[in-house]
Amino acid sequence: MKERYSRQALFKPIGKTGQEKISDSHVMILGCGALGTANAANLARAGVGKLTIIDRDYVERSNLQRQQLFTDKDAENQVPKVIAAKEKLEAINPEIEVNALILDVTGEELAPYLKDVDLVIDATDNFDIRFVMNDLIHKHKLPWIFGSCVGSTGMSYTILPGESPCLACILDTTTLSGATCDSVGIIAPAVQMVVAHQTAEALKLLVGDVNSLRTQLVMFDLWTNQYQMIKVDRAKKASCPSCGVNPSYPALSYDTRTKTEVLCGRNTVQIRANRHIVLEELASRLEKLGSIHVNKFLLSLHYGDYRVVVFSDGRAFIHGTSSMEEARKIYYQLVG
């Protein structure tokens, strides 16, 4: 057993055999913000053989307080989150493989990336994406670990397709706050508490210790010193369109996908466009408008009262507005 993992292998529920299973495993982390970077760092140190990390965003200074793999230089250079994370993860553990995907999750196009994945960790920041993943992982029979945090609160739940209630079932019976990090803030310890639950559950699944999995929804508030475990097994419904007897997977339908969306709490609209953009050509065309930052992943410029970020896959963030109509107008003016 390698010295790198010797202390972990001394832990009897893992042992040498469990460590070998961890080293042969492939984990997908959807989202590379606070939860995603911390889970990825934990699993890289644990020796997970392959990590696939997926995120659509780039590093900003407001991320640095809680998103532990990023630096001020990453924010200054507007590096895509997965690219910055991959660099740090490979420095943490050069023995593992890190697959970084700058990708906006919209449905079945994610399915090819699930090949050979052993489990999925939810580290997203909105429930539209979570419902897509809920349907997708049930369709492909993969375990996944839900996690969410805001303010000083957090929650986590481990979902086993065919056995436990899915996310849609749980949300039918559980009241959740609509607050976001951008509206009420967040403290880093809340992130770390959720990640501790998620990573621990991931290790249990990877070594095959399903009997030790937590079967309840955990919820906590670190500031008010509240911690509770909620039984949700009765929430599972035979009629559920995602995990029931005759699933239709509604979140994967093309008609339910959002082509333009307001990013929660950020006064920003994302526009999706199925096109490839040569960023250098776009930069040359727009240079008369003012200072432009461009790297091989994205182009950023200030346009009047707005800040516009265009990705090579045709997506764009229009910062400074929550109006989809206004955002589309700006996109057409700049990109065409």
> In this structure, what DSSP letter does residue 233 have?
G
**Res. 258 pLDDT band, cuts 50 70 90:** very low
How far apart CA 118 and CA 51 sit, in angstroms, is 10
Q: What's the whole-number mean pLDDT along residues 248-274?
A: 71
Neighbours of 247 (CB within 10 A): 15
Q: Which helix (H) or strand (E) holds 222?
A: none
Does the structure show a pLDDT above 70 at 29? yes
pLDDT digits (tens, 9 = 90+) for 148-186: 998 999 999 999 998 999 988 888 776 665 556 655 789
pTM: 0.82
- Per-domain residue ranges for the chain? 3-254, 259-334
pLDDT digits (tens, 9 = 90+) for 191-231: 999 999 999 999 999 999 999 999 999 999 999 999 999 99
Angle between helices 15-23 and 188-207 in degrees, nearest 10 = 100
How far apart CA 57 and CA 31 sit, in angstroms, is 9
How far apart CA 36 and CA 219 sit, in angstroms, is 19
CATH classification number, 3-254, choose in 3.40.50.720, 3.40.50.740, 3.30.1330.80, 3.30.920.30? 3.40.50.720
The tokens 């010295």 sit on which residue? 3
**Res. 262 pLDDT band, cuts 50 70 90:** low
The residues that bridge with 115 in the sheet, in sequence order, are none
pLDDT value, residue 176? 60
**Res. 261 pLDDT band, cuts 50 70 90:** low
Q: Is 247 helix (H, G, I), strand (E, B) or coil?
A: coil
39 and 198 in contact (C-beta within 8 Å)?
yes
For the chain, percent of residues with pLDDT exceeding 90: 58
Exposure pattern of 90-108 as b/e (b: 16+ CB <10 Å)? beebeebebebbbbbbbbe
259-334: which CATH topology?
Answer: TATA-Binding Protein (3.30.310)
Q: Which two tokens stand for residue 316?
A: 């764009």
